[in-house]
């Protein structure tokens, strides 16, 4: 079985967030796809099958533990791969059909590989966390109240609901340090957490067991940018740039562009560079 290894949100090989793209998932069971993702030991893998046209494809995304309905860096990495397969040097547009939604992606060929921009749509502001509810959250993340910014913790989604935890210090110490973190998130309607330093514009997230840290998280970038816009922390013009992965030795940069109509976000584009690393053939 053939597959491809790429680095997403990366300017060069062996940086950014690694992704394995598996072909023809129609030949695989759900358990086999999960097992292959675990074999590669990456935060997520994506499995692609032929779609309804030359620019529309079906895909399924897996973490080490489960299948996801949406994720950012797998969709961006897949679109870059599809552009390479097309052999076209011009800008391309793709539709990726996931379990519960379609995602549009634009790709451009660069001298290193490709640059991709993913349409995440309009954000959903799910919940603002009350001050009396934050103590359990920050304790679970190995943070202290003095690490927090003056802005509230919020749950925001563009496909996956993230609990955004805005801080001004202590990002190096942040980690999930309790066994029931998924249950804590569920109380607030969140799937994952994103700890974000509003001064450094740097984020961190993990699987909910706290055992694997993600290097660059496209699905969190949209909600984070929506949070920054809401609290007037984003630039008045130009993209928002979010860094991640520094503490893992794989620095990554995610670019987010907001479309604004009468001060409200009508659409979010999450972009990044993709670098090809290897072609792989499973025996």
pTM above 0.75, yes or no: yes
Q: Could you give the CA distance from residue 259 to residue 6 in angstroms, rounded to a whole number?
A: 29
Q: Do 195 and 245 share a domain, yes or no?
A: yes
Range of the domain at 70: 2-120+272-281
24 — pLDDT class (breaks 50, 70, 90): confident
Q: What is the pLDDT of residues 128-150, one digit of tens each?
A: 999 999 999 999 999 999 999 99
Q: Do 29 and 165 share a domain, yes or no?
A: no
Distances (CA, A) of 100 to 54, 59, 94, 103, 150: 21, 11, 17, 10, 36
Q: Do 77 and 207 share a domain, yes or no?
A: no
| DSSP 3-state of 52 | strand
Q: What is the pLDDT of residues 175-204, one digit of tens each?
A: 999 999 999 999 999 999 999 999 999 999
Which CATH number goes with the domain that contains 207?
Answer: 3.10.310.10
Q: Could you give the CA distance from residue 208 to residue 233 in angstroms, rounded to a whole number?
A: 28
Question: Residue 20 has what pLDDT?
Answer: 97
Number of folded domains that form the chain: 2
Best CA proximity match to 8, nearest among 205, 245, 259, 281: 245
Q: Do 56 and 114 share a domain, yes or no?
A: yes
Q: Do 139 and 263 share a domain, yes or no?
A: yes
Q: Which two tokens stand for residue 107?
A: 């790709």
Q: Do 8 and 144 share a domain, yes or no?
A: no
Q: Do 138 and 76 share a domain, yes or no?
A: no
Q: Do 73 and 96 share a domain, yes or no?
A: yes
Q: Could you give the CA distance from residue 216 to residue 227 in angstroms, rounded to a whole number?
A: 18
Beta strand ranges found along 139-282 (DSSP E): 154-157, 161-167, 192-197, 202-204, 240-244, 252-261, 264-281
Q: Do 20 and 86 share a domain, yes or no?
A: yes
């Amino acid at each position: 079985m053939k597959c491809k290894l790429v680095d997403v949100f990366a300017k060069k090989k062996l940086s950014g967030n690694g992704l394995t793209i598996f072909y023809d998932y129609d030949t695989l069971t759900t358990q086999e796809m999960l097992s292959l993702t675990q074999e590669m030991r990456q935060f997520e893998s994506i499995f692609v099958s032929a779609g309804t046209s030359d620019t529309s494809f079906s895909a399924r995304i897996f973490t080490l533990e489960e299948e996801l309905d949406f994720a950012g860096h797998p969709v961006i990495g897949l679109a870059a791969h599809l552009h390479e397969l097309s052999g076209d040097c011009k800008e391309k547009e793709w539709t990726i059909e996931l379990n519960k939604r379609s995602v549009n992606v634009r790709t451009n060929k660069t001298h290193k590989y490709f640059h991709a921009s993913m349409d995440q749509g309009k954000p959903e502001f799910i919940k603002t966390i009350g001050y009396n509810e934050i103590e359990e959250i920050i304790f679970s993340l190995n943070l202290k109240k003095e690490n927090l910014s003056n802005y509230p913790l919020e749950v925001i989604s563009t496909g996956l609901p993230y609990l955004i935890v805005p801080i001004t210090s202590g990002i190096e110490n942040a980690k999930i340090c309790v066994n029931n973190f998924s249950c804590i998130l569920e109380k607030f309607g969140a799937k994952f957490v994103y700890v974000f330093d509003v001064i450094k514009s740097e984020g961190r997230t993990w699987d909910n067991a706290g055992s694997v840290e993600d290097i660059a998280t496209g699905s969190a970038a949209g909600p984070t940018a929506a949070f920054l816009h809401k609290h007037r922390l984003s630039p008045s013009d130009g993209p928002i740039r979010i860094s991640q992965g520094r503490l893992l030795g794989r620095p990554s940069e995610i670019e987010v562009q907001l479309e604004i109509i009468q001060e409200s976000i009508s659409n979010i584009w999450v972009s990044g560079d993709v670098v090809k690393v290897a072609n792989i053939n499973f025996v």
